[in-house]
Amino acid sequence: MNDGRMEHSVQAVALADILDRVLDKGVVIAGDVMVSLVGVELLNIRLRLLIASVDKAVEMGINWWEHDPYLSTRASQSEAQNTALQQRIERLETLLAQTSKGGET
């Protein structure tokens, strides 16, 4: 019981240290879940989880969020430019096909 003395939160400091170490080094959690019925496999799920800081992930070569249009405005702009360029190429190919057909006759 607490007899009126002040208690210090050692757990909060320890938790912060653990979280800092995990994010600095990274942690991989892997597991498989398999559901079978009478020897017949019905469901097989493979789980892989990596917990790391953004800096550590980039250092490891993981940067998928930079190219996801829902997470990055730069990726969204690139996707719009890509679409515009594809449409332009299609128009140029159509014009080139029409021009080459006109020259054959």
Indicate the pTM of the whole model.
0.42
> Rounded CA gap, 101 and 59, in Å?
53
Domain edges within the chain: 9-61, 63-105
Bridge partner residues of 25 (DSSP): none
Residue, of 99 and 70, whose pLDDT is higher? 99
pLDDT by residue (tens digit) across 44-65? 898 888 888 888 888 888 888 7
Is residue 2's pLDDT more than 70?
Answer: no
Contact 19, 27 (CB under 8 A): no
**Residue 102 DSSP SS3:** helix
> Rounded CA gap, 79 and 33, in Å?
36
Is residue 36 within a helix (H) or strand (E), and if so which, with residue range?
Answer: strand 27-37
Is residue 1's pLDDT more than 70?
Answer: no
